[in-house]
Amino acid sequence: MRELSSGWLIKVGVLILVTLTVPCAAVERPFKLQGTTEVIGNPFAPEGAAMEGHGTATHLGKWTNEGPIFFDGSSGPPFPATGIVHFTAANGDQLEVLLTGTIDASLVATAAYHIVGGTGRFAGASGHGDFAASPNPDGTLSYTATGTIDY
């Protein structure tokens, strides 16, 4: 049986350490999300209103969300709308998303989403896509998003 030299073991150890310390490159992936949110307060107020919701998404699994939403009543309908959404994944990692679009008098919204970071595996995440929402009889909004996420 052949003996391994310590020089060979050192080279293998260095190779393993280098491989583990090289940062992984972010990869663009398809992103789909669906859920329901409740708007709490008056989104036309200067401070906006709070959103709280839940749903499922690729890369997030089951999630919850919170954040402010603002409607600009100085023109429209449709009214310009902006939302800052903090999604929390099933494992606690967070994804930060900015929504910009419009909402009409019947509460149907169309927007673009832009992923602007997060925590855990979503630290430094980016991405973009389309967002659509429509009202439910109970006063909540159901929504979907389709596009990309890069992390």
pLDDT higher than 90, residue 70: yes
The SS3 of residue 83 is strand
Q: Using 50, 70 and 90 to split pLDDT, how confident is the model at 14? A: very low
How far is CA 151 from its chain centroid?
11
Write the CA distances from 77 to 8, 31, 110, integer angstroms.
72, 30, 13
Q: Could you tell me the residue ranges of all domains in the chain? A: 26-150
- pLDDT at position 76: 86
Residue 22 buriedness (CB in 10 A; 0-12 / 13-18 / 19+): exposed
Contacts 24+ apart (CB under 8 A), 77-86: 77/103, 77/104, 77/105, 78/102, 78/103, 78/104, 78/105, 79/44, 79/103, 79/104, 81/43, 81/109, 81/111, 83/51, 83/111, 85/51
- pLDDT at position 10: 54
Least confident window among 13-27, 40-54, 70-84, 126-140: 13-27
Q: Using 50, 70 and 90 to split pLDDT, how confident is the model at 18? A: very low
The structural architecture, per CATH, of the domain 26-150 is: Beta Barrel (2.40)
Q: CA dihedral in degrees (49, 55, 56, 60; nearest 10)? A: 40
- Ramachandran angles phi, psi of 16, nearest 5°: -65, -45
The pLDDT > 70 percentage for the chain reads 83
Mean pLDDT of the chain: 88
136-149: average pLDDT: 97
